[in-house]
Amino acid sequence: MDAENYVKKVLEDVKKRNPGEAEFHNAVDEVLHSLIPVLEKRPELIKASILERIVEPERMVYFRIPWMDDAGKIHVNRGYRIQFNGALGPYKGGIRFHPTVNNSIIKFLGFEQLFKNALTGLPMGGGKGGCDFDPKGKSDAEIMRFCQSFMAELYKYLGPDVDVPAGDIGVGAREVGYMYGMYRKIVTASSQGVLTGKPLAFGGSLGRTQATGYGLLYFTNEMLKDKGTTFEGKIVSVSGSGNVAIYAIEKAQQFGAKVVTCSDSGGYVYDEEGIDLAVVKQLKITEARRIKDYLQYRPNAKYVEGSMKVWEVKCDVALPCATQNELDLASAEILIQNGVKFVAEGANMPTTLDAIAAFQKAGVYFGPAKAANAGGVSCSGLEMTQNAMRLSWTAEEVDEKLQVIMKNIFAAAKSTAKEIGDNDNLLAGANIAGFLKVADAMVKQGVI
Ligand code: NDP
């Protein structure tokens, strides 16, 4: 069977075997289509049924999480962990607490994670987890009880050499700390390497909080350099106001750009003079408030209801840093009309497939999530190394290593894109470079 028909058939099978899982279908569709040129050159991979094997998770568990709120009422949520592929090392990937979490979301995130981790060059397989729990409005005590109940089941599947979760949407150092406490109590061992994104006092890495946002900017900076320009004086539009967005804004400002937007699920703020990051940090990190309150501190800024409208703002560089499918075709067309030159993904799968195609057609340089936002998991890999060596690197040492990793990821995606004769297609370049690392390891490990 030729490569194109092979990809078509595997995709059809994925849709049949995973009905109704649109996010997972999209993630697989995006990766598999870009692999056609490499499968044409390497027919032995088709013979090894590599795609059928790579789209099927090694295992996935889901479980009941009962917990009691402050009023004594009992709630039940559903938890998930997917161990997608361990060919390159322990399963590695964050945990998301958000009401939209379901089978499809966890599978798409785990599948993407596999290739992203491969691109970092660190020995990590792909995993992901989460729960349909909504942390918004919950007290600290409720969050703690919830995290403890979550870990009371999840611990069975974890270990520093087995599966190492981290944070994601709704899960930061506080939640990781509560989960680690419960893990340590159950297994009666310190095992700091079982979770990353930990607080600094017990094995966390300096620089982990900033790593995804900073890494995104290091990657995007390589894209700009590749086109002979810099961030100096560029207008940047960022969506989201969570962990990734905040540190993306911080590094963009350090690079001399003017960031004019940020958002949350309610809407976006536009600040023509440049976002005041101290205000955003106070609202989002310290006080857990809504982004529209930004106007109380910066009355000249503008607030617009509807988070997806953020892309109507004119900018040179767009950095979607909120959530999946937040930048659709209509938004892409507005960005293109307004002259955007660079788009790089801080969130996972924020740009829909048709929007990506529109950017590529219009000559907008596009940096895909699995390469551009790999800074977080890279730093998590560095945290695992520090835990195994029982030492801590300085923030400068971690940041230096992060910069090297992000430059290497860009170089790998770019050189692979050139090899297939599609110079600026970093999406195909990243997919192929990540895929080949995993596929070659799987083939060498036999049919397992
Ligand atoms: P946070 O929970 O810190 O922030 C998420 C942000 O996105 C918030 O501003 C949130 O607003 C907004 N948001 C959530 N859902 C929606 C929605 N449906 N529409 C519009 N905005 C929304 O998460 P992170 O910053 O950690 O993660 C953001 C993205 O980056 C995710 O896709 C995540 O998977 C990805 N990522 C994160 C990494 C990390 O290290 N943290 C690593 C790699 C990828 P609100 O408060 O209103 O919900």
* Residue boundaries of the structural domains of the chain: 3-54, 59-190, 210-372
* Cα(119)–Cα(295) distance, integer angstroms: 40
323 lines ligand 1 (CB under 6 A): yes
Burial 136-168 (b: 16+ CB within 10 A, else e): eebeeebbbbbbbbbbbbbbebbbbeebbbbbb
Q: Give 323 Cα–ligand 1 centroid separation in angstroms.
A: 5
Sequence-ordered list of residues with C-beta below 8 angstroms from that of 391, at least 6 positions apart, any chain: none
Cβ-defined contacts of 110-113 (< 8 Å, 24+): 110/57, 110/60, 110/82, 110/83, 110/84, 111/24, 111/27, 111/28, 111/31, 111/55, 111/84, 112/27, 112/348, 112/349, 112/369, 112/370, 113/84, 113/377
Active site residue 128: yes
User: Where are the strands (E) in 292-424, listed by range?
Assistant: 302-305, 317-320, 342-344, 365-367
Q: Whose CA is nearest to atom 10 of ligand 1?
A: 264
Q: Give 245 Cα–ligand 1 centroid separation in angstroms.
A: 8
* Cα(215)–Cα(344) distance, integer angstroms: 11
Is the fold of 59-190 the same as that of 210-372? yes
326 lines ligand 1 (CB under 6 A): yes
Nearest atom, ligand 1, residue 350 CA: 32
Crossing angle of helices 103-120 and 426-444, in 10° steps, is 90
Nearest to 41 by CA among 340, 432, 438, 446: 432
* Cα(278)–Cα(275) distance, integer angstroms: 9
* Cα(448)–Cα(182) distance, integer angstroms: 33
CATH class entry, domain 59-190 = alpha beta
Place of tokens 């083939």: 443
Q: Whose CA is nearest to atom 40 of ligand 1?
A: 376
DSSP element (H, E) containing 126: strand 125-131
φ/ψ (deg, to 5) at 88: -100, -10
**Which CATH number describes the domain made up of 210-372?**
3.40.50.720
242 lines ligand 1 (CB under 6 A): yes
| DSSP of 192-213 | GGG-SS--GGGTPPTTHHHHHH
Nearest 5 degrees, angle CA 433-CA 435-CA 436?
70
Task: Walk along the chain (448 residues) and give the pLDDT tens digit of each residue.
Answer: 899 999 999 999 999 999 999 999 999 999 999 999 999 999 999 999 999 999 999 999 999 999 999 999 999 999 999 999 999 999 999 999 999 999 999 999 999 999 999 999 999 999 999 999 999 999 999 999 999 999 999 999 999 999 999 999 999 999 999 999 999 999 988 899 999 999 999 999 999 999 999 999 999 999 999 999 999 999 999 999 999 999 999 999 999 999 999 999 999 999 999 999 999 999 999 999 999 999 999 999 999 999 889 999 999 999 999 999 999 999 999 999 999 999 999 999 999 999 999 999 999 999 999 999 999 999 999 999 999 999 999 999 999 999 999 999 999 999 999 999 999 999 999 999 999 999 999 999 999 8
322 lines ligand 1 (CB under 6 A): yes
Crossing angle of helices 103-120 and 395-419, in 10° steps, is 90
Q: Given 128, 198, 284, 341, which residue is catalytic?
A: 128
- In this structure, are strands 342-344 and 317-320 parallel, antiparallel, or unpaired? parallel
Q: Whose CA is nearest to atom 46 of ligand 1?
A: 264
List the structure tokens of 115: 């290739």
